[in-house]
Structure 1
């Protein structure tokens, strides 16, 4: 019987990744289509991708597939051929990372979920069959010239904070499921205007465009392939890039540099910075923006409290972590919640 999970520790797997000599390519892709048996599809995918030495994170649901992976360069064509052998995925667009060191993932995880992107939609009449029109980079730039065009960022605050399109409106909520009804509410007086929705790779804005149409909006577009594909197309067509700053990504890199602009600030000192990091204290792991100076000052921690814990002996740290509710320590996506949280911690 084939092994459909990893038997090596995460730490050892990461060490093995960094010992690899062949370059890897980081890729993301998604597709909304009906999956009759997600578990069976998951098992088939795992066996095939594991043979190709693919690492990454893939979600399977009845509504489709959502994947962020890396593959050795010599297996890239074999991966494409395998995906093309699956009828609904034949010809699927593969978004290749912009700023890639090939060290984005070190293990393959394929999970069955209720949905490939959690949306909170309970209306039985909602369907992905009717969605907004795709726009490519050329069309995006043309629409951005029109003052009547509304550009909506369907990503979380920490993504928007480090980089976004010119004129983009942030939907200031903690989750995609909260953003959908909020976007409808915020745009009620713009139902006749051109509305472009975008996200990292296209999966969220595609569903958001369908949701807007479902709620009576008329001229809804979504950026084909998201920011990743836009940057590639803009370069290929020698277009002026309208995305500024960094593109946050959900892998070990935590960001792709798109332009030299630094539009965010260090969450500790307030100076210009856009490098996301996780607090080094294993009892915290808060995701926040930290400049090089504060990284040195606080030993990569989010607060003096965490710095103190981080510098304790390992066994003592382990004892302190017992019973900690890490849910209180995770990154708050809402800008209004994040700053007071860090201020509070730095006072201790």
Structure 2
């Protein structure tokens, strides 16, 4: 079926400023939730439209990916519509037992609009279907089991990108120097050479990347692969409710407007511009750049929210000068900061 005919009218039509104003006018609370499930979806477009239509009626916001291999969702749900949301999701047989991860810090402003997108994969990995089997994954460990394995010296691997682990991670973890999950997988395989019989512990934000990584490692001969149940998000909840030691240091990076939620009081990173202890990510105020980087409040004021001199010059320039500046200025873009 033609995708364009299948989702006709089922998408947001408002601009960002109008969306921000609408969110600011809300008088009710929202809950930020994430969930995923690897499951065969025969018609992703039909599922996409079913979910969008219902969730739009419930005033849900968020970013949801649907693929033949499953669903990966990060959402903001009005508290007074939560029961309706959960009832509807669990009425779909494919998702009746999907576990939820509730945000640690939540101001209700995590998303501006509802986006439900059909993708080839729910997490882009660059793998061939013969390189993993998502029905053969690692053992899921509770926070208590995770801490016990850490204390016994297991090898810990952070399956997130460098800009995520920079602001928070488990002590002693292997931290890939990668910007994408696709880049991480071969790097981790190389770092773990010779450890095929060791106890391997994998963790990520909510668990979805670890699910595929564990299958990938098992395919490559690793015999004792384990993953943190519910990722960092649920680890924090379990630690809090069960009175366990929190072995995660710093913030957990999240892919919504918050850009991070605090898991411990430790600040383990620094402002990319002045070096002051800081773990607050921001996007460069110059939208032509939009670089994701760490910036303290003082530098935000000094540089007008920009990542460098070129971007600040462009941001403050009169409209008639911007076209000429675009020809000679260099904008960093991406997610890796380099000092000017």
TM value normalised by structure 2 = 0.94
Q: Secondary structure at the match of 1:305?
A: helix
Closer/same/farther in 2, CA of residues 44 and 320 from structure 1, 3 Å limit: farther
128-137 vs 173-182, greater mean Cα deviation = 173-182
Cα distance, 1:16 vs. partner?
Answer: 0.6
What pairs up with 1:205-244 in 2 under 5 angstroms? 205-244=210-249
Distance 2:241 2:110 in 1: 24
For 1:71-82, list aligned pairs within 5 A.
71-82=77-88
Map 1:109-258 → 2, pairs under 5 A: 109-124=115-130, 126-147=132-153, 149-258=154-263
TM-aligned CA deviation for residue 325 of structure 1? 9.1
Residue 282 of structure 2 corresponds to which residue in structure 1? Answer: 277
Q: How many residue pairs are counted as aligned between the two chains? A: 334
Q: Report SS of the residue matched to 2:194.
A: helix
Q: Decide whether the 8 Å contact of 1:2 with 1:47 is kept in 2.
A: no
From 36, 40, 46, the counterpart of 2:52: 46
Q: Are residues 92 and 318 of structure 1, via their aligned partners in 2, closer, same or farther at CA, if it must alter by over 3 Å?
A: farther
- Residues 152 and 197, structure 1, Cα contact 8 Å, conserved in 2: yes
For structure 2, the 5+ residue unaligned runs are: 1-6
Q: Contact 1:283 / 1:324 at 8 angstroms: preserved in 2?
A: no
Q: Report if the CA contact (8 A) 2:310-2:330 is conserved.
A: no
1:107 aligns with 2:113: yes
Secondary structure of the residue aligned to 2:166 is helix
Q: Output aligned runs, 1:292-311, within 5 Å.
A: 292-311=297-316
The C-alpha deviation readout for 1:276-300, integer Å capped at 9, x for no partner, is 0011112211110011111111111
| Compared CA separation, residues 270 and 323, structure 1 to 2 (3 A) | closer
CA distance in 1, matches of 2:323, 2:112: 25
Summarize deviations over 1:108-147 as a string: whole Å, max 9, x none: 0111000000011115263111000000111011111102
Match of 1:64?
A: 70
C-alpha distance in 2 between matches for 1:66 and 1:24: 19
1:13 maps to which of 11, 19, 33: 19
1:324: Cα distance to partner?
8.9
**Residue 325 to residue 52, structure 1, CA distance change in 2 (3 Å):** farther
Greater CA drift, 216-225 or 125-134: 125-134
Which of residues 322, 334, 337 is equivalent to 1:330? 334
User: What runs of 5+ residues in structure 1 fail to find an aligned partner?
Assistant: 333-337
Contact 2:166 2:269 (C-alpha < 8 Å) held by counterparts: yes
> Deviations along 1:122-175, whole A, 9 cap, x unmatched?
15263111000000111011111102x001000000000000012211122221
Q: Does structure 1 retain, via aligned residues, the 8 Å contact 2:207–2:229?
A: yes
- Distance change >3 Å, CA 308–CA 136, structure 1 → 2: same
TM-score of the superposition, structure 1-length normalised? 0.92
- Alpha-carbon RMSD across the aligned residues, in angstroms, is 1.8
